[in-house]
Amino acid sequence: MAESPTRRITIVEVPGVPPTVPTVPPEKPPTIPNIPVYSVYISANKTYVYTGETVRIRVDVVLAETPYAEYVLPVTLYANGESIATENMRFPVGAKSQSIEFEVTFTLPSGVTEKTYSVYAETPDYATPVS
Amino acid sequence: MVKRSRKIEIRVKKGFKLALKASRYTRWGETLPLEGVRIPVYDAIYFSLIKECYTPCEVILPAGLAVRIIAPATAYSYVFVEWSDGKRERDRVINMVKDIELEARYSPP
């Protein structure tokens, strides 16, 4: 009986590669989107005053969507192109529109008997959520 | 990018303007200006003289001030008739709450 050939098998141990464990990205808190500003409206309680008199200037802002979190929006008031005041307007949950009132006292420089001030309000395009 | 409101114009003045003029009626019912008629402007409360106005004249007064103006009974021999707003008292008190323009009207004697 012929001897069957023996197959020699050498087992070489290869350093094992650890099994890959799928990495789960850390869970991010859901981002709250900014809300665009729909309109900015300005009005004053009087437009004809004498020097030293205070004018109440009201700025009404309407957002494009109803906020489901608290949002903030800086409002800057300009007179003849110069910034005269900045205030943060807060939009609580559900408040799509808000108003802010500035009390501005106009005092003429000496020697000037009359001056016209061109006043407007400016806001960024988007209200941002309060972190 | 920013969102901007419309612009509003706020006029600031030192006070309000009191413009005084004088005129005389002609025999044909027209009015001709009378220059150099003295209309003194007083503080109505303290009766202190604010300005000696010689028509035509303008004076800027603090807002809210009460002033007393007195048109002379005669000017260049013309006789006082009325003010342009229809009042017939020569001596009157005005409250400066806006710009005021008044003309003292005289007629031939």
Phi then psi for B57, rounded to 5 degrees? -145, 160
Q: Does A95 touch chain B (CB under 8 A)?
A: no
Query: Can you tell me which residue has the tokens 């900045």?
Result: A86
| Cβ proximity of A115 and A68 under 8 Å | no
- For chain A, give the percent of residues with pLDDT over 90: 61
Q: Is the pLDDT assigned to residue A2 strictly greater than 60?
A: no
Domain boundaries in chain B? 16-107
User: Mutate which of B8, B18, B58, B61 to test chain A, going by most A C-beta atoms within 10 A?
Assistant: B8
Closest residue in A to B16 (Cα) is: A50
Chain segment A97-117, per-residue pLDDT in tens: 999 999 998 888 877 878 999
DSSP A52: T
- Could you tell me how far CA B57 lies from the centroid of its own chain? 8
How high is the ipTM of this complex?
A: 0.71
Interface of B with A in 47-66 (CB under 8 A): 60, 62-63
Residue A52's pLDDT band, with cuts at 50, 70 and 90, is confident
Architecture of A35-129 per CATH?
Answer: Sandwich (2.60)
In chain A, which residues have their Cβ closer than 8 Å to the Cβ of B60? 113
Residue of A29, A102, A111, A35 lying closest to A66 (CA atoms): A35
Give the predicted TM-score (pTM) of the model.
0.57
Tell me whether residue B16 is exposed, middle or buried, using C-beta atoms within 10 angstroms of its C-beta: 0 to 12, 13 to 18, 19 or more. buried
The 10s digit of each residue's pLDDT in B50-84 is 999 999 999 888 878 899 999 999 999 999 999 99
Q: Whole-angstrom Cα distance, residue A69 to residue A29?
A: 14
The angle at the Cα of A77, spanning A72 to A80, to the nearest 5 degrees, equals 160
Nearest to B2 among A113, A115, A122 (CB): A122
Higher pLDDT, A30 or A68: A68
- Domain B16-107 fold is Immunoglobulin-like (2.60.40)
